[in-house]
Amino acid sequence: MSDLRRWGWHDSVRAHRAQMMGEPVPWLTYPAVIALGRALTGAESVFEIGAGVSTLWFAAHAACVVSLEGDAAWAAELRPRLPENAELLVHPYSDAEGFFAKLDGIFGSFDVVLVDGGPDRSRVCRRAADFIADDGLIVLDNSDVSAYQPGIDGLAERGFHRIDFHGPAPATRYLGCTSFFSRRLDRWSPGKGSVWPRPIYEADR
Residues 154-180 have a mean pLDDT of: 92
Residue predicted with more confidence, 189 or 55: 55
Categorize the per-residue pLDDT at 137 as very low, low, confident or very high, splitting at 50, 70 and 90.
very high
Tally helices (H) and strands (E) across the chain.
8, 9
Nearest to 81 by CA among 171, 170, 8, 17: 17
Average pLDDT in the 183-197 region? 69
Whole-number average pLDDT of the chain: 88
| Confidence label for 38 from pLDDT (cuts 50, 70 and 90) | confident
Percentage of the chain modeled with pLDDT above 90: 64
Domains of the chain: 28-187 (3.40.50.150)
* 115-123-63-105 Cα dihedral, nearest 10 degrees: -150
CA distances from residue 201 to 13, 105, 135 in whole angstroms, order as listed: 21, 36, 26
Indicate if the pLDDT at residue 193 is higher than 80: no
Of 190 and 82, more confident: 82
- pLDDT score for 205: 41
**pLDDT above 80 (res 168):** yes
Handedness of CA 141, 147, 153, 155 (dihedral sign): negative
